[in-house]
Structure 1
Amino acid sequence: MPKGKDSGVTSLRKMLVVRIAFLLSLALLPIGLVAMGQSWRALNITHDNLEASIHARTSALVEPERRDLLTKMGTAAALADTLGATDLSIEECTAIMQRVRASNPQLSFAGLLETGSVSRCNSMGRTFDVLPDTRADDLFSAPEPYIRFNPQGSATNVPVIIVAYPSFSADNTLKGFVTISFETEKLLQPDSVTGQNGAVALVTFNSYGDILSSVTPEGPIEDYLPEGLSFEGFVNQSDSFFTATTRSGDTRLISVVPILPGEVYALGSWGRTALQRTSATWFTISTLLFPFLMWLVGIIVAVISLNRLVLRHISDLGRRMRRFATYRDVVSSEKINDAPSEIQTINATFEEMADQLLRDEADLENAVFEREVLLKEVHHRVKNNLQLISSIINMQVRQVASPEAVTALRKFQDRVTSLASVHRALYQEPSLTRIRFDVLLGDLVAQVNAVGAGDQKPVEIELDMDPVTLLPDQTSPLAMVTTEALSNAFKYGGPGRDGVFRLKVHLKEMQDGDATRVRLTIENSVNPEVHTPSGTGLGKRLILAFASQLDADLTQIDEEDCHGLTLTFEYQPFSPE
């Protein structure tokens, strides 16, 4: 074969699409998919028919109990409406309960349960306290009908099922719960679950998951239920159906149907007799077996092929990409020579891209370095020029005789020095775009203290600063505000009544909802007995102007023994990244 044709055939054989299409054509035959779909449909139909049949048989078995409970709920509701519509005496109410008890032989008790679990109106004609029941007590705060089982009735001392219905007066005030009870053996009759249904066990339960009654072919009901079954999980649900294994190891079909939705439910546990109806399922499963094996073989072949042809090469390429991302190191691989042509193309593109990225990053790092050097030089020169201006002002101060002129020049010098401090901080910061203002604030306090204290006694300075990082656009006006406020503190402040000159400087970072805010507080002590002269007002105007630049909330502190200000503004914190 010519070399050109041989090269073309080899390239075609290495294409991923050709290889996968060929392997899947051998494994996944259309006839297998069709057979699996038909078998699955037959299995679903058989399961649905079985579920509907079991639900129908369970509902038929508990139909007499449903009618009986509906009758008793209706009786309780009618009594509750009667007692709520009229204002009866205890004797009249008792007579009604006794007539209801006499006309319903199945009832063992009828009465009105009042708050405090006390019954004065009942078919027994006497007052007695019902046994404490936390669940029943809770219903007085949220009245609603309920049905429960009591292994020892408070009035009859025999196991009873209790049906209660709230009774409200005309002004919607709760009078109590009309309660009727009847013995449990009258609810489910063993005759109803014998004969052709002899393999079924039935149990009824209320909305709290309490068992009301049960009947089994033999033995306790727990032998016919899955171990650890919680009845509460079926409350407020429609019909439920599942297969479970009992603690004795028997496989049974569990059907749960509502007797009174939201109140009483029935659970039927069906045994081998019902399971015989599922014989068609085994035929369906056997039909599914062959296409499933075909599908399994196809998937195994496809996975092995994908791993050999694609996944191992992609994994190797990913490893080399991660190494490049972490160490900026491009490593070649011998495995790539056996990869499909598409992956070889991707690998070549990656290596070219990696080389280009390394060149671009080198150029970018060089540009960034040059920019940082230039920017640092700018800040350094600005700082030097501002310090030069400060020195010139200092020389001018020595030539001025007027105290007022000296004071004005000193204030101007402080403002220039503050700006120089900002640029010095920018020059010293590696990032050049953010400043630790708490560090700068400490320098400003020390600087103004050294100049402003003069002949006064030592100042007791209280510094409480959180680490706060700001943009240069925020740092400059805040530094100017700080300088003016500190200058005013040393100019107009002084020792308090205790003879101590106190200066408090706080810098706090606060969270206000989704926003982060910074609060600066500068406060100095004053002696209320000493008159403080007023200034020109320039410092105050400057503080207001700089606060406006920060869009800050400014609050003046003017108390008897202290003066100062609080400045609060919003900023975005810097991410360490």
Structure 2
Amino acid sequence: MTDAPVRRGLQERLGYRVAFLLAVVLLPLTLISVFKSLAVREQALARSEAALMGETMRAASGELRLIQQARGAASILANAIWPLVETENGCTLLMQDLLKEDPQYSLIAFVPVTGISTCNSAGKRFDFKDDPLFMRALKDSQTAFAVKPIGLVSGSSVLEISHPVFDENNVYRGLVSLSLPHYGLRIAEDSGTKDNLQPLTMITYDASGTILTSSRRLDDIGLAIPRDRALAALTGTKAVSFSALSVTGQERVFSAVPLVPDELYALGSWPPEGGQATGGLLGAAPIMVPVLMWVVSLIVAWLAVERLVIRHIRKLSRSITLFASGNRIVGDIDVRKAPLEIREMAEAYERMTETILHDEAEMEDIVHQKEVLLREVHHRVKNNLQLIASIMNMQMRRTHSAEAKSIMKGLQDRVMSLATIHRELYQTAGLSDIHSDELLATIVRQISTLADRPDRRLAVKTQFDDIRMTPDQAVPLALLVAEAVTNAIKYAHGPKGDAPAELWLRLVRIDDTHAELTVGNTISSDQQPLPEGDIAVGVRDTREGGLGTQLVSAFAMQLGSNVERREGDGIFELSVAFELRPLSDGEERNVAAEKA
């Protein structure tokens, strides 16, 4: 019997191995493509950074001019305002006239050292004590910039520019403050950003990193600020460009340009080349595209191998497996669309199966013929034995000697036992092993049926394990049982009065390689114990070495064992323990006989 096929792992399949080999072959090309794509992307970013730096300088030129104008106006006003401060009305009128001439400012004011301004373009009293520029000017008398979220006049964010005021003795007297409404970054008209497809975003900031102006609203400038770099770190005397994620998480190109070294800086940003943010999947495109091509090539290779090779091999494998398991129907192995090598394999398999089927048919015919001949031999032996038994029966009717009749009757019973055995062998001829339980049950039934008479009743009990034996062991065992049962029936008596005589037989398996036969019968309580040395079951023949004893001993020796007997309490038992021969001995003998 062929063992069931073992399921193999995925790594042992042809499709997996082809795909794995292709993956290894294509992996260097994929890595080269990835590195090349990354290099191209880096070059594009470098071009974008360089372009952004020039565009930032051009775009900030308008804001720079506006801030420089405000700075110059604050400086001029600071130098001219002190003589007019003593006349409050004259100072206020001057501020209002300046505002009319340059309405881009929301407030122009002089703030004395007290922090209370009454000289301003609004003509009101303003408290600058909490103003950051005022507090800074008390410590550092220089031009300064600051952004106020809520202007005193505009009510919205303003860019405040201050300049210190000194008297004729160079004593600090206060500061001039100009407020520019923070409506958005003034991008120069000649910057070209309107015609540029890149959405440029601009902010200005001071040396401390404080944002001064923005082309976006102050509450929406996260896109224009890098996430991992502080603005204070983007100060210096040289312009720098880099790529980074913005505060909002988008990948952008940034360029920081000093407008006023150590004082004012501009930071421009836009998406990388192409005008699209490259975060997420788009940002991973240089890596994803070669990898996806690599994966798709593996899938295509797998499907191609599956279509061209594996499905045909699977069909052949299914047919071969069924054939190997004993199914002699080859089935559908149409592989006409398969490659030439597989078609040749299928044709060779078909020729092989035809040859095997033809050889098996011939072997079956030969085995059948030998089986018929063997059956015929057993059948003729059985008929001859029955003929001898009939002749002996005729001779017994002609004999007047009681002793001769008894002897011939015993011989006749043994001949009939042999005939029964050959009949069973006739029915099981051609097999390499014999089911001992069926053989012994038939023999016991046959003998007990012949011996059961109205004046001699028997109660037979049997227990036979299903033990398969080679014919070389089954025949002597059957002869031993036939002889032992014949003797047991002959000398068995009921334990009490008219009770039937009891006869029992057991053939049990002790372990995998040993078995034990037990034959027992009840005896009359007035019978004397058997003399030592007489081991025939139930035999009361006091002659040592009687025929029954010799036959049972001879059959036991053929089994490679000895006979043991037990007697007492009205019963008599005989037991034979023997070793079971491997069934392969019978198969090898059959093969040798067939070759002969």
Bin of the TM-score, shorter chain as denominator length: 0.3 to 0.5
Q: What's the TM-score once normalised by structure 2's chain length?
A: 0.45
